[in-house]
Amino acid sequence: MASCGACGTTILFGGRDYAGMRFCSEKCAANGRVAIAAQRVPDAEALLLASQIHAEKCPKCAGPGPVDMRASYKVWSAVFMTRWASASQVACRRCGIRKQSLSALGSLIFGWWGFPWGLIMTPVQLFRNIAAIVKPHDPARPSPQLIQHSRLLLADRMLESQV
């Protein structure tokens, strides 16, 4: 399955193509310029920054780490319209679980009421939240998603310093 070139989320349905890469959303496609620059960031630099972020305190609650990318998944419906989205935050596992639980609860309440996508996407998004809660990233090392996030931060800095 394809994963988003900007945020690393697995793309289940849809997605946007931009400059030969796939993105999960318009927002991520807009980040395509950064994503392309990110390909030039050396692996060692991305890994170094990811390891620093991983070892820091949680930027959300200032609690102990490890800090990593915590994805959460939402869906909401209104009869013939269903919207779904994934979000990623850099946070500790506890903050991640809080967001994933809230997203699961919100999807459970607001997800179903659309046909047909509400009925299809609600179990999908619930499952993805539950999977993220029960199967977290390996706490011993930064996840590939955090390394990708770090790569994008470095690429962003690189582009800004060129302007």
- Which positions touch Zn ion (CB under 5 A)? 4, 6-7, 9, 24, 28, 58, 60-61, 63, 91-92, 95
Nearer Cβ to Zn ion, position 63 or 139?
63
In angstroms, give the least distance from the CB of 96 to Zn ion. Answer: 8
> Angle CA(67)–CA(98)–CA(54) in degrees, nearest 5?
0
**Residue 7 or 147 having the CB closest to Zn ion:** 7
CB crowding 47-80: b at 16 or more within 10 Å, else e: bebbeebbeeebebeeeebbbbbbbbbbbbbeee
- Report, in Å, the least distance between residue 58 CB and Zn ion: 3
Nearer to Zn ion, 34 or 49 (CB): 34
Give the tokens for residue 155.
Answer: 């690429």
Least distance from C-beta 10 to Zn ion, angstroms?
10
